[in-house]
Structure 1
Amino acid sequence: MGGETPSRPRASLRTAVVWEVLRDALDRRAAVGQSAGGGTGGGAGAGLEVLDAGGGSGQFAVEAARLGHRVTVVDPSPNALFALERRAAEAGVADRVRGVQGDTQGLFDVVGRGAYDAVLCHGVLEYVDDPVEGLRAVAAALRPSGVLSLLAAGLGGAVLARALAGHFTEARQALTDPAGHWGAGDPVPRRFTADQLSELVAGAGLDVTAVHGVRVFADLVPGVLVDAQPGARDALARLEAEAAALPAFHAVATQLHVLAERR
Structure 2
Amino acid sequence: MSDPMRSRASLRTAVVREVLQDALERRAEATGRQALDVLDTGGGSGNFAVPLARLGHRVTVVDPSPNALFALERRAAEAGVADRVQGVQGDARGLFDVAERGGYDAVLCHGVLEYVDDPAEGVRNAVAALRPGGVLSLLAAGLGGAVLARALAGHFTEARQALDDPNGRWGTGDPVPRRFTADQLTALVEGAGLRVGAVHGVRVFADLVPGVLVDTEPGALDALLKLEAAAAELAAFHSVATQLHVLGETRGTSGA
Measured against the shorter chain, the TM-score band is: over 0.9
| Secondary structure of residue in 1 paired with 2:146 | helix
1:162 has 2:160 as partner: no
Q: 1:108 aligns with which of 96, 104, 118?
A: 96
> For residues 139-218 of structure 1, what are the structure 2 equivalents within 5 Å?
139-218=127-206
What is the letter of the counterpart of residue 103 of structure 2? A
Shift of 1:227: 2.3
- Aligned match of 1:26: 24
User: Percent same amino acid at aligned positions?
Assistant: 80
Equivalent residues of 1:118, 1:148 under 8 A apart: yes
The correspondence for 1:125, drawn from 106, 113, 118, is 113
Spell out, residue by residue over 1:48-82, the C-alpha distance to the aligned partner (whole angstroms, 9 max, x if none). Answer: 01000110001100111111110000000000000
Q: Take 1:50 and 1:205, find their aligned partners in 2: how far apart are those partners? A: 19
Determine the structure 2 residue equivalent to 1:240: 228
Q: Secondary structure at the match of 1:9?
A: helix
Aligned to 2:45: 57
Tell me the CA shift for residue 9 of structure 1: 2.8
Matched letter for residue 23 of structure 1? Q
The 8 Å contact of residues 6 and 233 in structure 1, kept in 2 or not, is answered as no
For 1:10 and 1:253, the matched residues in 2 are separated by: 16
Aligned alpha-carbon RMSD (Å):
1.0
Contact 2:7/2:214, CA 8 A, preserved across alignment: no
CA distance in 2, matches of 1:228, 1:93: 33
Give the Å deviation of 1:243. Answer: 0.4
Cross-structure match for 1:81: 69
| In 2: Cα distance, 1:88 partner to 1:219 partner | 28
Where does structure 1 lack aligned partners over 5 or more consecutive residues? Answer: 35-43
User: 1:108-162, CA deviations, whole angstroms, 9 ceiling, x for partnerless residues?
Assistant: 1111110000000000000001001111001100011100000000000000000
Equivalents in 2 of 1:89, 1:23: separation in Å? 22
Q: Name the amino acid aligned to 2:2.
A: P
State the TM-score, normalized to the length of structure 1: 0.93
Q: After TM superposition, what 4+ stretches of structure 1 lie above 4 angstroms from structure 2? A: none
- Deviation of 1:262 after TM superposition, in Å, equals 1.4
TM-score, structure 2 normalization: 0.95
What is aligned with 1:135? 123
Report if aligned partners of 2:7, 2:215 keep a CA contact under 8 Å in 1: no
Show the counterpart of 1:39.
none
Structure 2 match to 1:16: 14
**What amino acid is aligned across from residue 6 of structure 1 in structure 2?**
S
2:204/2:228 contact within 8 Å kept: yes
After superposing the two structures, state which structure 1 stretch, 219-228 or 250-259, moved more: 219-228
Once structures 1 and 2 are overlaid, which stretch shifts more, 77-86 or 224-233?
A: 224-233
